[in-house]
Amino acid sequence: MKRILITGKNSYVGNSLAEWLAQYPEDYEVHKISVRDDEWKEHDFSPYDSIVHVAGIAHVSRDPKMEELYYRVNRDLTYEIAKKAKEEKVKQFIFMSSIIVYGRKSTTTGMITADTKPIPDNFYGRSKLEAEKKIKLLQDDDFHIAILRPPMIYGKNSKGNYPKLAKLARITPIFPDFPNKRSMLHIDNLSEFLKLMIENEEEGLFFPQNKEYVQTSEMVKLISEAHGKKIYLTKLFNFILNPLRTRQGIINKVFGDLVYDMEMSRYKNDYCVNGLIGTIKKTELGK
């Protein structure tokens, strides 16, 4: 049996992983701790095989007053926890980074490949990338570090852009039929991937994503259909959206291109337990 410690007691990813591993009670024992204060420093890490660090500030802010907090939580706290894990002989440290480390200047095509260099353009992205660099210095033959850079994570009760889009899909009768592509990752697929990372005692940099890219209009249609509604997709607004989608802002988030090359996401075990249609139904209807 492997003993797992998840940092981020109330995190969406952490709670989802704990529920996923609960399906295998004979294989995994899972504990969760909060790292909001300094009490975690008194917690004994030595009994654990893996620590999954998902705690952190996950939203994007450009408020200069927030900059110090981002670095303190996303970078410095991550390093402190990883350092303690190594000192107390934990075998593996898994860090949840993000596709956000690739800023707008990282790619002009919207396609991220193995050669694409991260150029973060906000506090969130820079703090995550600097955390990656710091914890890599701790890695050795006895302390494995696995870093994940997932794209947008979605699922039932998820936060971020997906629920906003889903809300719109449920009420609007019309939506632009624009040919964009986005990498996404359903929470079940991520949880299975994390299970495999633990099981295989992995180390290195990983880019999990669903097996298929998502076109925003197709996803909106699937959401609408899951609720028994019909939605009309139109190309009427495409001439307006096309020049705007490369700019920063909501238009880019909804209709811009941002994908990982599928080759980057291949793994020796299949971790995509659900396809796009199944994940939308499960997210919207809970089944």
What are the structural domains of the chain? 2-154+184-210+260-273 (3.40.50.720)
Work out the number of other CB atoms within 10 angstroms of the CB of residue 49.
Answer: 16
What is the end-to-end Cα distance of the chain in Å, rounded?
A: 30
**pTM for this model (two decimals):** 0.95
Query: In one letter, which amino acid is 148?
Result: L
The vertex-55 CA angle with 23 and 19, nearest 5°, equals 10
Name the DSSP class of 6: E
What separation in angstroms does the CA of 109 have from each of 79, 121, 122? 33, 17, 20
Work out the number of other CB atoms within 10 angstroms of the CB of residue 64.
Answer: 8
Average of per-residue pLDDT values in the chain: 93
- The pLDDT score that the predictor gives to residue 241 is 85
**47, 94 Cβ separation under 8 angstroms:** no
Helix (H) or strand (E) segment spanning residue 148: strand 144-148
- Furthest-apart CA pair in the chain: how many Å? 60
* Beta-ladder partners of 148: 96, 206
| Residue 181: both structure tokens together | 């592509």
214-219, long-range: CB < 8 A, 24+ apart: 214/181, 214/182, 214/183, 214/184, 214/276, 215/178, 215/179, 215/180, 215/181, 215/182, 216/165, 216/178, 216/180, 216/182, 216/254, 216/255, 217/175, 217/176, 217/177, 217/178, 219/165, 219/169, 219/276, 219/280
Residue in this structure with the two tokens 């998502």, named with its chain if needed: 214
Length of the chain: 287
Work out the number of other CB atoms within 10 angstroms of the CB of residue 175.
Answer: 20
Residues of the chain with pLDDT under 70: 60-61, 247-248, 287
